[in-house]
Copies of this chain bind each other. A is one copy, B any other.
Amino acid sequence: MPTFVQILDFIGTFAFAVSGIRLASAKHFDWFGAYVCGFAVAVGGGTIRDVLLDVTPAWMTNPIYLVCTALALVWVIIFGKHIVHLNNTLFTFDAIGLALFTVVGLEKALMLDYPYWVGIIMGTLTGAAGGVIRDVLINETPLIFRKEIYALACVAGGTVYWICREFAGADPFVCQTAGGITVFLTRVLSVRFNICLPTLSEK
């Protein structure tokens, strides 16, 4: 039986992979290219984190991420045009993935005895770096640097986790939940109310 976290992980991976595959298809990538692009979004952030932390990337220890990306590709190929009606569902899944990946990345850094500020960066990388890799592969300026709050939601969630753990002395599960919910709500509300960070005027 998969645990609750494993189910969330699968949902998040699926949503991230779909996001990569759809952008790849808009660029006329072939099926293989779309698969690679989806896989890069799904595992790219975690891979950068694990290389920086000097541990074996998670996807090299379990083929579930390859399988999940394959299912995402099949799903996009079959449902094609109709996916656009599911945009809200996919957006919710994506925000769930972002929240979960942030907490997972943060925990992994803390388990290796890194300080909280490294943990917050690792959580943010886990959640947001896959999207940057995707945008580099499809040769676009990374979206997360120009649009609604995305990576900053991870930073907010990581900060809430740190406050809960260090100052409120809450137990790990409470901190994880509070951090994850913060990421999710920050992301969803910033898109709902179209909240953006200021840009720098051209210098």
Contacts and interface: CB of A to CB of B under 8 A. Distances in A.
Contact of A203 (B54, B60, B84): B84
Contacts of A198: 30-31
Interface string A22-39: 101111111111101100
Nearest to A109: B60
Contacts of A199: 25, 28-31
A145 B32 contact: yes
Interface in A27-83: 27-34, 36-37, 47, 51-52, 54, 56-57, 60, 63, 66, 76-77, 80-81, 83
A142 B146 contact: no
A115 to B, nearest CB: 8
Contact of A33 (B26, B83, B145, B203): B145
A33 B146 contact: yes
Contact of A80 (B80, B118, B203): B203
Contacts of A147: 30
A200 B37 contact: no
Contacts of A24: 145, 200
A30 B63 contact: no
A75 to B, nearest CB: 11
B52 A202 contact: no
A141 interface: yes
Interface of A: 21-22, 24-34, 36-37, 47, 51-52, 54, 56-57, 60, 63, 66, 76-77, 80-81, 83-84, 114, 117-118, 132, 136-142, 144-147, 149, 151-152, 196-203
Given A66-B117, A139-B142, 11 more contacts: A25-B202, A26-B202, A26-B203, A28-B200, A30-B196, A30-B198, A32-B149, A52-B57, A80-B201, A84-B203, A137-B145
